Structure 1
Amino acid sequence: MEINPTGYVPALMFDDGEVLTENVAILAWIADRAPELAPQGHLGRFRLLEMLSFLATEIHKRFPTYLSLPEEAREPTGQQIVHWFGFVAGRLERGYLFGETFTVADAYLFQLAWGATHLGFALPEPLGEYIARIEQRPAVQAALHREGLA
């Protein structure tokens, strides 16, 4: 609550004290500063926002509901989560969500899929291989280690 008045994560505090919140906004900000982490083309920025919004609203938002339900009532929400992971799995035919290049949307999908597998979800292929490949990236290894998840 000290940084983000909503009490949610993520929140990015700048040196001047300004705060940026919400995954979509933070990841778009990162992509603007590191264009190699954004899809290219005349619709690249908008395709990125489209995918980030999809991940946030169709997958990410279902986890708090799923986790708040008693185990015997989780199946319908769990099926929705797996269904939408199936949709994004179909986008990985060339390695990443936007083809052969890793983007901030892949970082978000990795976080969601990695967490889902640790909750016991059986995700459709090629998400298993995708998670394993991204998990081997040095920056991901460093982040998992820093968070005590490695």
Structure 2
Amino acid sequence: MKLFCAPGTLSLLPHIVFLEAGLAFTVVRIDEHTKAIEGGGDYRTVNPLGYVPALLLDDGTVLTEGAAIVQYIADQVPDKKLAPPNGTIERAKLQAWLNFLSSEMHKGGFGPIFHKGISEQSKEVFRDRLRARYAHLDRHLADHEYLMGEDFTVADANAFAITNWAPRVDFDLSPYPNVLAHHARIGCRPAVQAAMAADGPIPGPDP
């Protein structure tokens, strides 16, 4: 399996989950600006929209979208309990968190703030949205060690990867002590540290 990645993007999420799962995979780096694949090629032949992550399976199937990719990885190693079993209410709750993180935090919050063409006044609108979402997350984490309760899941890796962007857009996390504690807890995991080290230096633009 080949995982297409770019430093500072959401591709950190499946990278972490792959390492947590202990599955064999190859990292293929791309340039977020030119869409050039390391070693040659145009990434848009893999994902026409040009954003990461994407997962190329051994049979040639391409899977895009971080939430889908990490659930696929988790289902390959059910004994690791990175995601609850399919068809259970717990799996639906996991998917709810993944959807929340993708739509409300990533695309509906951090994403627009990265764009240089948006005014500072407009960016503050999205920071306000993030404040409301992080307040919700902080209340939940007051009574839960992890998003799903007592066990680490792919949702925690997702929250970690997205929250990593806060300093890059001047978003203050200090009002959310439970979020900060969760972020530190996830950041101590060997798989997370290894994925971040492999990710390398973060450029500037769009995650």
Look up the equivalent residue of 2:94 and give its one-letter code: L
TM-score, normalised with respect to structure 1: 0.89
Once the two structures are TM-superposed, the CA of residue 67 in structure 1 deviates from its matched residue by 1.9
For residues 46-61 of structure 1, the aligned pairs below 5 Å read 46-61=92-107
In structure 1, the partner of 2:129 is 80
Once the two structures are TM-superposed, the CA of residue 76 in structure 1 deviates from its matched residue by 1.1
The whole-number CA distance in structure 2 between the counterparts of 1:98 and 1:117 is 26
Residue in structure 1 matching 2:59, options 1, 7, 16:
16
The whole-number CA distance in structure 2 between the counterparts of 1:45 and 1:120 is 34
Query: 4+ residue runs of structure 1 moved beyond 4 angstroms?
Result: none
TM-score, normalised with respect to structure 2: 0.66
Alignment root-mean-square deviation, CA: 1.9
The unaligned stretches of length 5 or more in structure 2 are 1-43, 203-207
1:48-102 residue CA offsets vs partner (Å, 9 max, x unmatched): 1111111111111032212222234311111101211221222222211011100
Once the two structures are TM-superposed, the CA of residue 27 in structure 1 deviates from its matched residue by 1.9
Equivalent pairs, count: 150
Once the two structures are TM-superposed, the CA of residue 42 in structure 1 deviates from its matched residue by 3.4
The whole-number CA distance in structure 2 between the counterparts of 1:126 and 1:25 is 27
The whole-number CA distance in structure 1 between the counterparts of 2:168 and 2:185 is 16
Identical columns (%): 41
The unaligned stretches of length 5 or more in structure 1 are none
Residues 87-96 or 104-113, more deviating: 87-96
The whole-number CA distance in structure 2 between the counterparts of 1:18 and 1:12 is 8
Query: Given the alignment of the two structures, is residue 148 of structure 1 paired with residue 200 of structure 2, yes or no?
Result: yes
Look up the equivalent residue of 1:27 and give its one-letter code: V
